[in-house]
Amino acid sequence: MIRKVVYFSMQVPNRPGVGVEMLRSIAKGKQNLLAFTGFPNGGKAQVDFVPAKPVEFARGAKKKGVKLGKKKTAFLVQGEDRVGALVRILEKLAKAKINMVAMDAVTGGSRRFGAIFWVRPKDIARTSRLLGAR
């Protein structure tokens, strides 16, 4: 299954404990994340949140005085884990000359896997049509 998802990106201090405080606050607000990724970026850290309920997530962040970055779009893939599970998707994008900006993928145990990937904003609609993403 491939679907378009909303994510929010933020720059935060790159210090121990910053991420856990953010995730603890999200959990206290009873917000479920479909994905979370973070990495160093220019002396800070970039964190991307993919909430299950983006409107509620943004509302909760505003209540806590957290300034979220702009709402953006990524693609979430979930499926049965097998050898070459992502090859078909990557081949379709390559054939259509759509460049994937980044991807994170992981097995989920019990023969399941998940991935999140990003394309350039100008390619979102075409990627969605090509892959049948909802």
Give the pLDDT confidence of 96-131 residue by residue, as tens digits: 999 999 999 999 889 999 999 999 999 999 999 999
Q: Contacts by 23-32 with C-beta closer than 8 Å and gap 24+?
A: 25/64, 25/66, 26/57, 26/60, 29/60, 29/64, 31/56, 31/57, 31/60
Give the tens place of pLDDT for each residue, 44-53: 999 999 999 9
Taking the whole predicted model, whether its pTM rises above 0.85 is answered as yes
| Kind plus residue range of the DSSP H or E element containing 112 | strand 112-119
**Per-domain boundaries in the chain:** 2-71, 73-131
In the three-class reduction of DSSP (H, G, I as helix; E, B as strand; rest coil), residue 53 is classed as coil
Which class is 73-131 in CATH?
alpha beta
Output Rg (C-alpha) for the chain, integer angstroms. Answer: 16
Pick one of 3.30.2130.10, 3.30.360.10, 1.10.357.10, 3.20.20.210 as the CATH number of 2-71.
Answer: 3.30.2130.10
Give the tens place of pLDDT for each residue, 56-68: 999 888 888 888 8
Question: How many beta carbons lie within 10 A of that of residue 114, not counting itself?
Answer: 17
